[in-house]
């Protein structure tokens, strides 16, 4: 038996949050993810000792001790799953609370004289409304190139602390870290400082019981709404907590100094309902939630409009068109994009994975699957991908070409599993 290479490349990670001196970051609504790794049956696909060049997160030893199956991902040696398996981990997050190490993601701060100064500088590079971000609020946006292609997607958080006015925290994808920092450094004005927070670690606690378990150690996190953040303490440890994530469930992302991360994690793992979750379940959870994985569902060839991320483009930004690639984005908003990211539900049990051709009923190729696999909560195969204008309406029948055979499928609305964010009143 040999494994057909699948999700392997370490393309992306996901965005979450970040912080300045006291603050820290967290997670993202639509973004990033796990790719993973080798399955395994052929000898050369067996897990191997990580080459020395792979980086380790502050929790690496803990993953190994706890039975994590380690694989290369975005340049890091990361756990794709633990002993219970991906489906059990996935279901645990949907019903209880899962703990994810996302310390491989990039955390950084942008600092300027005041909020307006730093927000206007960042708005030169992204289509999101950063100026309108209230203190303690977080937003999902994208770094765009001159053609409106997506260089990366990221979470941007404005510090809740008035003493930190002028500080934005960024969480960017692991695989694009270096390119993003080079891009930002080359384009930000001299009065804005980019500070890489490599001394920080980041974990996500996701699931319906996340609020109870995190609340026991950090009561200040309980009243936070989705996409809000505070600098606080978790059992006395300074950290930055945001209510966000990459699973579609309620939950938090907790950033703290790398040296203190393990202490927070040990406290969380002492809670019976909390289990460690690997990249495999992270991928199936985000796919069911309809969230993009950079390098797969979005890249420099896709615009935010094509990627169905129009909701993340600020209204003022659309009108003013003052961001990279605005001409294309405004044209697509006005005339409709030539293609759109949609959900695809295969009718049978066979998964249709990344790269699968999508055809119309009359046999013409109309698109391609960008992420696909098995959805444990859906209990069946699910995919997402791009289809031509005219085939985007939910219910549109399409055919997927899997191993030279046509599989019947239909376009469906995303997400596959409803989001359960704590949006508040």
Partner 1 sequence: MATMRYTKDHEWIRLDGEVATVGITEHAQQQLGDIVYVELPELGRKVDKGGEAAVVESVKAASDVYAPASGEVVAVNQALDGTPGAVNEEAEGKGWFFRLKLANASELDALMTDEQYKDYLATLS
How far is the C-alpha of 74 from the C-alpha of 253, rounded, in Å?
20
How far is the C-alpha of 308 from the C-alpha of 352, rounded, in Å?
21
What minimum distance in Å lies between the beta carbon of 346 and partner 1? 10
Peptide bond before residue 415 is cis, with ω within 30 degrees of 0: yes
**One of 6, 161, 165, 388 touching partner 1 (CB under 8 A):** 6
Task: Tell me the sheet residues that pair with 407.
Answer: 400
Number of residues that bind partner 1 (CB under 8 A): 34
Only segment of 45-53, 58-66, 199-207, 361-369 that touches partner 1 (CB under 8 A): 45-53
**One of 295, 351, 367, 385 touching partner 1 (CB under 8 A):** 351
Asked if 353 is part of the footprint of partner 1 (rule: CB under 8 A), the reply reads yes
**One of 5, 223, 355, 390 touching partner 1 (CB under 8 A):** 5
What minimum distance in Å lies between the beta carbon of 387 and partner 1? 22
CA proximity to 144, closest of 118, 117, 171, 125: 125
What minimum distance in Å lies between the beta carbon of 41 and partner 1? 4
What minimum distance in Å lies between the beta carbon of 402 and partner 1? 9
Asked if 104 is part of the footprint of partner 1 (rule: CB under 8 A), the reply reads no
Restricted to residues 361-400, the positions that interact with partner 1 (CB under 8 A) are: 373-374, 376, 381
**One of 1, 134, 186, 425 touching partner 1 (CB under 8 A):** 1
How many other CB atoms sit within 10 Å of the CB of residue 137?
A: 16
Restricted to residues 133-172, the positions that interact with partner 1 (CB under 8 A) are: none
What minimum distance in Å lies between the beta carbon of 104 and partner 1? 18
**One of 107, 232, 284, 302 touching partner 1 (CB under 8 A):** 284
Asked if 46 is part of the footprint of partner 1 (rule: CB under 8 A), the reply reads yes
Token readout for 117 is 């100064």
Q: Quick one: 285 or 326, whose CB is closer to partner 1?
A: 285
Only segment of 44-52, 101-109, 170-178, 388-396 that touches partner 1 (CB under 8 A): 44-52
**One of 37, 160, 192, 358 touching partner 1 (CB under 8 A):** 37
What minimum distance in Å lies between the beta carbon of 369 and partner 1? 13
Task: Tell me the sheet residues that pair with 141.
Answer: 154
Question: Angle 26-63-178 (CA atoms, 0-180°, nearest 5)?
Answer: 50
Only segment of 33-41, 243-251, 308-316, 319-327 that touches partner 1 (CB under 8 A): 33-41
Q: Quick one: 80 or 170, whose CB is closer to partner 1?
A: 80
How far is the C-alpha of 9 from the C-alpha of 354, rounded, in Å?
12
How many other CB atoms sit within 10 Å of the CB of residue 387?
A: 23
Strand intervals (E) in 159-267: 167-172, 193-196, 200-206, 229-234, 237-242, 251-257
Restricted to residues 290-349, the positions that interact with partner 1 (CB under 8 A) are: 349
Estimate to the nearest angstrom the gap between the alpha carbon of 351 and the chain centroid. 22
How far is the C-alpha of 49 from the C-alpha of 52, rounded, in Å?
9
Burial class of residue 10 in the structure, from the number of CB atoms within 10 Å of its CB (0-12 exposed, 13-18 middle, 19+ buried): buried
Are 240 and 17 spatial neighbours (Cβ–Cβ below 8 Å)?
yes
Only segment of 82-90, 131-139, 336-344, 385-393 that touches partner 1 (CB under 8 A): 82-90
Task: Tell me the sheet residues that pair with 170.
Answer: 108, 156
Are 355 and 376 spatial neighbours (Cβ–Cβ below 8 Å)?
no
3-class SS at 104? coil
Return the H-helix or E-strand segment holding 360: none
Asked if 86 is part of the footprint of partner 1 (rule: CB under 8 A), the reply reads yes
Asked if 36 is part of the footprint of partner 1 (rule: CB under 8 A), the reply reads yes
**One of 32, 80, 285, 340 touching partner 1 (CB under 8 A):** 80
Which residues 6+ apart lie within 8 Å of 270 measured at CB? none
Token readout for 73 is 């991902």
**One of 24, 31, 39, 399 touching partner 1 (CB under 8 A):** 39
Token pair 């975005």: residue: 74
**One of 16, 81, 176, 396 touching partner 1 (CB under 8 A):** 81
Residues at the contact surface with partner 1, assessed by CB under 8 A: 1-7, 36-43, 45-47, 80-81, 85-87, 280, 284, 349-351, 353, 373-374, 376, 381, 403
């Amino acid at each position: 038996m040999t494994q057909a290479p699948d999700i392997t490349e370490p393309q992306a990670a996901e965005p979450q949050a970040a912080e300045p001196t006291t603050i820290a970051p967290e997670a993202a609504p639509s973004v990033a993810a796990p790719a993973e790794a080798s399955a395994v049956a052929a000898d050369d696909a067996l897990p191997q000792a990580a080459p020395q060049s792979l980086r380790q997160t502050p929790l690496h030893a803990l993953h190994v001790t706890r039975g994590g199956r380690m694989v290369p991902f975005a340049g890091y040696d990361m756990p794709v799953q633990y002993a219970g398996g991906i489906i059990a981990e996935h279901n645990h997050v949907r019903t209880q609370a899962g703990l994810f190490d996302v310390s491989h993601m990039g955390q950084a701060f942008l600092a300027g004289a005041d909020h307006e100064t730093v927000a206007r500088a960042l708005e030169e590079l992204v289509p999101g409304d950063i100026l309108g971000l209230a203190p303690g609020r977080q937003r999902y946006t994208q770094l765009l190139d001159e053609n409106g292609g997506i260089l990366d997607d990221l979470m941007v958080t404005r510090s809740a602390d008035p003493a930190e006015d002028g500080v934005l925290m960024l969480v960017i994808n692991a695989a694009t870290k270096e390119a993003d920092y080079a891009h930002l450094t080359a384009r930000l004005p001299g009065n804005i400082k980019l500070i890489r927070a490599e001394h920080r670690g980041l974990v996500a606690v996701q699931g319906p019981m996340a609020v109870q378990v995190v609340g026991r150690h950090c009561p200040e996190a309980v009243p936070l709404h989705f996409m809000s953040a505070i600098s606080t303490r978790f059992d006395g440890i300074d950290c930055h907590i945001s209510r966000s994530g990459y699973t579609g469930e309620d939950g938090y992302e907790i950033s703290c100094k790398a040296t203190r991360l393990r202490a927070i994690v040990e406290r969380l793992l002492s809670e019976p309902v909390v289990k460690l979750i690997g990249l495999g379940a992270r991928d199936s959870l985000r796919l069911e939630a309809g969230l993009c994985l950079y390098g797969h569902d979005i890249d420099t060839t896709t615009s935010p409009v094509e990627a169905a991320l129009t909701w993340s483009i600020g209204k003022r930004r659309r009108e003013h068109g003052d961001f990279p690639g605005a001409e294309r984005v405004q044209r697509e908003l006005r005339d409709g994009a030539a293609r759109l990211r949609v959900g695809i539900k295969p009718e049978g049990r066979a998964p249709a994975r990344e790269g699968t051709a999508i055809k119309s009923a009359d046999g013409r190729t109309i698109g391609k699957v960008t992420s696909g696999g098995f959805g444990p909560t859906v209990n069946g195969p699910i995919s997402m991908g791009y289809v031509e204008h005219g085939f985007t309406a939910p219910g549109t029948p399409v055919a997927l070409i899997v191993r030279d055979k046509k599989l019947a499928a239909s376009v469906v609305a995303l997400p596959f599993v409803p989001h359960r964010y704590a949006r508040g009143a």
